[in-house]
Amino acid sequence: MRTIKHLEEAEATMRKMREMGFVRNVLSYNVMLNLYYQMGKYEKIQVLMQEMEKWGICFSNITYKILLNAYVATSNIEEIKKILMKMEADPLVSIDWYAYVVAANGYLKAGLIDKTLTMLWRSEQLISGKSARFACETLLSLYTAVGNKEQVYRVWNLYKTKGRSLNSSYLCMINSLLKLDDVDGAERIWEEWVSIVKCFDIRIPNLMVSTYSKKGLWEKAEAFVGKIVASGIKIEASTLDRLATGYHVGGQMLKASETIKKAISISQPGWEPNVYTLAACLEYLKGREDVKKIEDLLKILKEHCHPSSVSYDRLNSSIIDKENLCARALDHMEGEDQALNGERPAATEFEDKDSAEI
C-alpha cells in the first residue's frame, strides 16, 4: 500500500533526477503520474503534464491511460473528451479497446448513457488477440450497468464464436443476467456451462443459490443444491451457507439451523459462516428451548471456526442487531459474492491489463 512517505520519497528522487538531467523521458513521468493517480493527488497530475509539454516529452499509451483514469475518477467529462481526441490524433499512439472502455466508464458515472454506448461500440471494434476474453467480460459488465440486456446477449453470443469460453466468462455472464433480473436466462447459461465444464467453479452455483435466497425462493435454492449433490459434485460450505440464508429469509428456521450446522461441519480452516444467519438460527433454537441443538451447533462451531470471529459471546452481544438479522444476512451474502467474483462496480476505474508494468 502506497503511503505519504512513499510519495515524498518518490518526489525527492524525481527532484534529484531533474537536477542531474535524467528525467527527459516518458517513463519517469509515467511512474509519477501513476503514483499521483493512485493516491488521488490529481492537481499534481496537471503540473506534471505541463512540465512534459514544456520539455517536449511525448505522451505514451500509458500516459494517456493514466490521465483518462484520473479524469474518470474526478468525473471531468471535458478532459476525458480532450484526451480521447489527442489519442486519436497522435500518430505515435495506437489507441485500443481499453481507452474507450475507460471513457465509457466516465460517461456512465456522469449518467451520459448515449455517450457511454458510443464508447462501448468503438471499444468493441478494436478487440482482438489475447485480450478478447477480458475485454468481452468488461463489456458485459458495462452493458449490464447501463441496463441493456439485448447488448449483453449480443456480446456474449459474439464472444462464444471466438473460441472456448472460460469459467470466468460464464460467471460474468450469469452475474450480468442476475443483475438484470433475468433469472430464466441465467438458468439457461448455467445449464450450458454444466454441460461443458471441465473444472467446476463453485462461485457460479453460489451465485444462483444467492439469487434464489435473496428472492425468498428457498425451494428453488434447495432443489438447485440437490441437483449439484445428485450429480456427484462435492458440495462446499459456502454453498450450504447461502442455502441456510435462503431458508432464513423464507422463514424455514429449522432447515436453516440444520443446514448451517452441516456447512460448518464440512468447512475448511479459515472459513466462516454468515454470522447473521447463524445468530438467527441460535435465536430460533433458544426460542424453542432446544438446548441439545444449541449445544451441538456451538460444539461444531468451536471445532471448525476461529473462536474470536464467531464466538457465542459475540453472537449474543449488541454487535448483532437481532431486529434486522434477515436484511443483514442478505447484505453479508451479497458482499461475499461480490468479493469472490472479483466484481467491478460500474463506477470505478479499471486496471489496464494489456499495458506494460509502470
43-92 pLDDT, tens per residue?
Answer: 999 999 998 988 889 999 999 999 999 999 999 999 999 999 999 999 98
pTM for this one?
0.83
281-316 pLDDT, tens per residue?
Answer: 999 998 988 899 989 998 898 888 765 555 555 555
Chain center to CA of 131: 18
Same domain as 292, residue 265: yes
Average pLDDT across the chain, whole number = 86
Euclidean distance between CA atoms 225 and 230, whole angstroms? 9
Euclidean distance between CA atoms 25 and 269, whole angstroms? 50
Question: Into how many domains does the chain fold?
Answer: 2
In the block, residue with C-alpha cell 512513499: 6
Instruction: Pick left, alpha or beta for residue 270 (phi over 0 → left; psi -120 to 50 → alpha; otherwise beta).
Output: left
Same domain as 311, residue 261: yes
Same domain as 327, residue 285: yes
Same domain as 214, residue 161: no
Same domain as 216, residue 155: no
Same domain as 174, residue 148: yes
Same domain as 226, residue 192: no
Same domain as 183, residue 228: no
The string of DSSP codes covering 71-113 is HHHTT-HHHHHHHHHHHHH-TT----HHHHHHHHHHHHHTT-H
* Residue 217: CATH number of its domain: 1.25.40
The boundaries of the domain holding residue 135 are 127-200
Same domain as 265, residue 252: yes
Tell me, yes or no, whether 242 lies in a domain: yes
Higher confidence at residue 23 or residue 302?
A: 302
Tell me, yes or no, whether 304 lies in a domain: yes
3-17 pLDDT, tens per residue?
Answer: 777 777 887 877 777
